[in-house]
Amino acid sequence: MVESNGFLVCPECHCGEFEHTTDIVVGYPMPLREQLKSEMVCENCGRRYPVTIDDIPLLWSDSLRSIYMRDGLEPNFVHPSERDVKVANIRFYDEVSEEYIEEVHVNQTFRGRFLQAIQIATNQPLEVHLDVGCGPGNILDLTAGFAQTRIGIDISLRALRIAKERYKPTVILGDANRLPIKDNACSLVTASSVLHHLYDPSAFLREAHRVLQVGGGLVTDCDPNRVAADFSALGRLLYSLRLPVYRCLSVFTRRFFGHRDHNLQRYNALAEYHNKPGSGFGADELEEQLRACGLDVVLVHIHNMNEPVIVESSVVSFDVKHAILQLLSLRSPWCRSNGTTILTVSRRS
């Protein structure tokens, strides 16, 4: 039986009362059906949520459920909808989670900066840390020593299994736009490299506000800065030429694991819906979205990924690839407003 500890709710009606049954009446597709042992039935709306044999509840939204109920569903790459973006994320991270856990969010540069952001966000004991888009769990590992409860939510079942096995948090398959977490439950919500994967990031920000306690903090990082992504024609050409190069390099190094074949590159490009030339987020725009969701903005910080700490400086650290693209686009690569990435810290008052 899944232990909810009072945190879990139906993502559609927010009821926190479930009946647990081993009588699985829904006709789930194979091979998903073979992975299930029971169902959680919402006592308010009657929706049924399956539980895997390794105790991972699939507290999916109605839209996410519709994807899992159609085995082998492929996204529309030409005119993608929100559903297509979700499908691409599932396909990509089901495929690469083993490599992701070894290569992403593991270096000391990232860990030091993100821990500093967490310290800024929270000025109280960390009771419940919710990591949205947790993937294989590398962010949850950061708070293993001081968070009383760690919960990871993702739409990739393969990624959740790796997180559960390696870092031992509570993991839930769920939708960032309809979190299966009760109101005011979390001391900290984190979302690293997540906003640009969401078709509508503001829906997640509203949900983050809902599940945060008063005084609880939200930290986001590793989302693209639109100013830096506004490449010139020459910069766009160079950016597009990286794909065949990365595909070749993937043969020799795990660093380019997301580029090992053309189809995987297509999934990745669609999954990173807001990460492409001319796209991304404006710092002022992101701050406005946070405030519109009722959050008090503490920090919106533009940086390059190789910066180990959050610093108040008008100059960003040097990065060769970034510098070339900025110079080709007639911008200074050392100006902080032209940095590649945005980090935010906000709180619920």
CA distance 59 to 172: 7
Candidates 62, 67, 64; CA nearest to 46 is: 62
Q: Would you state the structure tokens that stand for residue 143, as one six-digit string?
A: 């708070």
pLDDT 10s digit of each residue in the chain, 349 long?
Answer: 455 568 999 999 999 999 999 999 889 999 899 999 999 999 999 999 999 999 999 999 999 999 999 988 999 999 999 999 999 999 999 999 988 888 887 889 999 999 999 999 997 789 999 999 999 999 999 999 899 999 999 999 999 999 999 999 999 999 999 999 999 999 999 999 999 999 999 999 999 999 999 999 999 999 999 999 999 999 999 999 999 999 999 998 888 999 999 999 999 999 999 999 999 999 999 999 999 999 999 999 999 999 999 998 999 999 999 999 999 999 999 999 999 999 999 999 9
Which region holds residue 31: left if phi is over 0, alpha if psi is between -120 and 50, else beta? Answer: alpha
| Residue-range domain boundaries for the chain | 1-59, 102-228+276-348
Task: Give CATH for domain 102-228+276-348.
Answer: 3.40.50.150
